[in-house]
Structure 1
Amino acid sequence: MLIGDVARRSGVSARMLRHYESLGLLRPTGRTGAGYREYSGEDIRRIFHIESLRSLGLPLREVKRALDDPGFRPAELVDDLVRRTRERIAAETELLARLGRIAAAEPAGWEDVLQIVAILQDLGSENAGRRQRAALSLGEEVPLPVEALVEAVLNEPDPNVAGALRWALAQSGEGGLALLAEGLAAPAAEVRERAVRAIVEMTDGGATAPLRDALADPDRAVRGHAALALGARGVADAVPALIDMVVEGANDTDAADALSTLSSDPASAERIAAGLVDLLARASTGSAARRRLTQALADIPGETASRALAELSHDEDRAVALTATYILKLRNAH
């Protein structure tokens, strides 16, 4: 079969067939009397094999190795192609997101576009100082869309840069709150923790719904940040998480202060005291945790707390008994 016939039947141009031949990928089986290339059925099958591998994104030099090396392992080839494809998709996805951010900023001209690109590059820098300078510049009317700000907040590991970014986001209005709430569903606990911190600063005593959702988070730090913020805002739903913090010794002093704030209402005080007393009575509660729970009772008013402290002053654990005795003296002095 001559080259023109092969091109028509295979869909591969005569020019590309000659290119394959120049790379050593394809060699016509013979020549006609007039010197024209002549392709056999085996040659045609090789052409289709070449095209199949090319369709997977394999470069021509690697196609040749795959077809000519008897020891070539297809599984390794497929794994490598999967890796390359994922990298390419990630790069394209990042580019698409960047273009979307630029479009959302509605730049008036090329200077605006270049400014946004520069800020985005700085925010993505590996240098924390460069990221912080970019974050601080966002208060100078740099036209960066809220989506980009939220993404930067959720991805920022440096506490100083994160603080600057959260401030910039808070200045942008409430548009980022819904996006931050979506961050509470992120697979990584550190991202969810950053989302909670930012929500606390953005709401500043206002909306509490996203923080209430964070109380059920599987990560202790995420729950803790939400509970402390809600406790300061007088939300009783935070009580169980705050008591858990006292037991675990994670920011237990702050948690006890938040419980004290919540106990200003007599009914709430009784519920908080009952929760503390319940854990004090459990055999599974360790000695150190029982001391912290006893200390937490100090600022909880009401009969339940006072009665519990009186009983704890005779506790078998000397440290607990001394703590309860000292607290009772302070309460009686007032």
Structure 2
Amino acid sequence: MSMPQQDTDTVRVLQGLEDSSPSVRLRAALAVGTTPDPRFIGRLIERCAVEPEFHVREMLTWALTRHPASMTVPGLVGELRSERAQARSQALHTLSKIGDRRAWPAITRALLTDADDEVARSAWRAAVVLVPEGEEQELADVLVTQFGRGERETRLSLSRALIALGEGTMPILRAAMTDPDPRVRAHAIATERLSRDPDAGFEFAIEEAKRVVVLGAAGQEE
């Protein structure tokens, strides 16, 4: 007895998501997103945690956004407790794309300060999208504790997140500009300058901030 066509298609898609060829996995994720089916949600989330190719992960995220948030958000929130960093970062990324604020309580301080830079960056982006009105300042209080961490991309992500929270976070930002740690001061100063002149570029803002910090230290020594 042959399998019904629907079941045959389901098996083909599920096998495609696990195929050794990235292009086959990409097409499988595209197929799921083009014709959403709740039966695939769990497998899409599982695949996000292990998929090595960036463009395939993006297609998996897109496929998940094509399904009802009520069906995808609970599973994605569950992934935030995973020991696998990619599972946490990709779930956060997908939640930021879905934009359902019911996920906000799951964006914990632990995620915002995660030791893995990619997880932290994804958490910052998701938090800015999901933060309820009136809670921006509390979020900014946590974000400023991360000033000075990581390489350029991490620092830029943090600056962009704080800037996106709006003018209300400026007092917190200005307080960080006087922090005893020169790395924190430089990052805070660069963020403030970037907020005033987005076209200046982050590298320029960082170099200018470093000069301000150095001059300030020299003035204190005199």
1:158, distance to aligned residue in structure 2 (A): 1.0
- Name 1:275's counterpart in structure 2: 176
Match of 1:155 among 50, 53, 76: 50
Match of 2:96 among 191, 200, 203: 200
1:247, distance to aligned residue in structure 2 (A): 4.1
Match of 2:66 among 167, 171, 185: 171
CA contact (8 A) 2:185 2:213 kept: no
CA contact (8 A) 1:181 1:210 kept: yes
Match of 2:105 among 197, 209, 232: 209
- Name 2:17's counterpart in structure 1: 123
- CA change 1:152–1:277 in 2 (3 A) is same
Larger Rg, first or second structure (1 or 2): 1
- Name 1:244's counterpart in structure 2: 146
- CA change 1:261–1:277 in 2 (3 A) is farther
1:135, distance to aligned residue in structure 2 (A): 0.8
**1:105-151 CA-partner distances (Å, limit 9, x unpaired):** xxxx6211111111111111111111001111113426451222222
TM-score under structure 1 normalisation?
A: 0.50
1:246, distance to aligned residue in structure 2 (A): 4.2
> Which whole-Å CA distance do the structure 2 matches of 1:180 and 1:241 have between them?
23
> Which whole-Å CA distance do the structure 2 matches of 1:294 and 1:176 have between them?
39
Higher RCO, 1 vs 2 (CA within 8 Å, ≥6 residues apart): 2
- CA change 1:128–1:300 in 2 (3 A) is closer
> Which whole-Å CA distance do the structure 1 matches of 2:118 and 2:34 have between them?
33
Structure 2, gaps ≥5 residues long:
197-211
CA contact (8 A) 1:155 1:191 kept: yes
AA in 1 matched with 2:174: A
SS of the residue aligned with 2:60? helix
SS of the residue aligned with 1:156? coil
TM-score under structure 2 normalisation?
A: 0.73
1:173, distance to aligned residue in structure 2 (A): 0.9
1:261, distance to aligned residue in structure 2 (A): 3.1
The CA RMSD over aligned residues, in Å, is 2.9
Match of 2:126 among 229, 246, 254: 229
1:191, distance to aligned residue in structure 2 (A): 1.7
1:171, distance to aligned residue in structure 2 (A): 0.8
1:193, distance to aligned residue in structure 2 (A): 1.1
> Which whole-Å CA distance do the structure 1 matches of 2:217 and 2:37 have between them?
65
**1:17-58 CA-partner distances (Å, limit 9, x unpaired):** xxxxxxxxxxxxxxxxxxxxxxxxxxxxxxxxxxxxxxxxxx
- CA change 1:273–1:183 in 2 (3 A) is same
Q: Is 2:192 the counterpart of 1:297?
A: yes
Percent identity for Structure 1 against Structure 2: 20
Q: More displaced, 147-156 or 180-189?
A: 147-156
1:168, distance to aligned residue in structure 2 (A): 1.0
AA in 2 matched with 1:133: R
CA contact (8 A) 1:269 1:300 kept: no
AA in 1 matched with 2:128: G
CA contact (8 A) 1:224 1:245 kept: no
Match of 1:141 among 6, 24, 35: 35
1:184, distance to aligned residue in structure 2 (A): 1.1
* Alignment size in residue pairs: 193
Structure 1, gaps ≥5 residues long:
1-108, 302-310, 319-334
- Name 1:132's counterpart in structure 2: 26
CA contact (8 A) 1:227 1:242 kept: no
